């Protein structure tokens, strides 16, 4: 297993990231999706079949989800920046003491 990195992010960043990636999927903008993530273990066929249309549509309206639910989504392939990143939402986006 590789190096794992934990990132503390704000709720607003999580919402922005999730909706941005969902829009790229729905628009089938594979080039920009590839630029937004470092998920290089997937082929284009995997990208197309990874998430359902219905699931992606729900990701466009995530403001009402709990922080824990947002963390679950942003830890998924393509929504995270790379395979080894793990995200936790904090009020300030910094590690809690």
In a domain, 39, yes or no: yes
Q: Structurally, how many domains does the chain consist of?
A: 1
- Is pLDDT at 36 greater than 60 in this prediction? yes
Which residues partner with 5 through β-bridges? 85
Cβ atoms of residues 18 and 89 within 8 Å: no
The per-residue pLDDT for 47 is 64
pLDDT tens digits, one per residue of 75-89: 888 888 877 788 999
In a domain, 97, yes or no: no
In a domain, 96, yes or no: no
In a domain, 38, yes or no: yes
- Is pLDDT at 74 greater than 50 in this prediction? yes
- Is pLDDT at 16 greater than 70 in this prediction? yes
In a domain, 47, yes or no: yes
Q: Which domain holds residue 25?
A: 5-89
Lowest average pLDDT, out of 14-18, 63-67, 83-87, goes to 83-87
Average pLDDT, the chain: 83
In a domain, 80, yes or no: yes
In a domain, 52, yes or no: yes
Average the pLDDT over 12-19 and give the result.
94
Q: How confident is the model at residue 45 (pLDDT cuts 50, 70, 90)?
A: low
Cβ atoms of residues 10 and 91 within 8 Å: yes
């Amino acid at each position: 297993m590789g190096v794992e990195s934990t990132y503390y992010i704000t709720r607003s960043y999580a919402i922005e990231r999730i909706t941005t990636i969902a829009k790229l999927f729905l628009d089938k903008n594979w080039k920009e999706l590839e630029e937004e993530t470092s998920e290089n273990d997937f082929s284009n066929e995997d990208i197309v079949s990874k998430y359902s249309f219905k699931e992606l549509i729900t990701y466009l309206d995530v403001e009402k989800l709990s922080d824990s639910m947002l963390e679950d989504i942003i830890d998924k392939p393509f929504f995270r920046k790379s395979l080894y990143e793990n995200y936790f939402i904090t009020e300030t986006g910094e590690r809690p003491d």
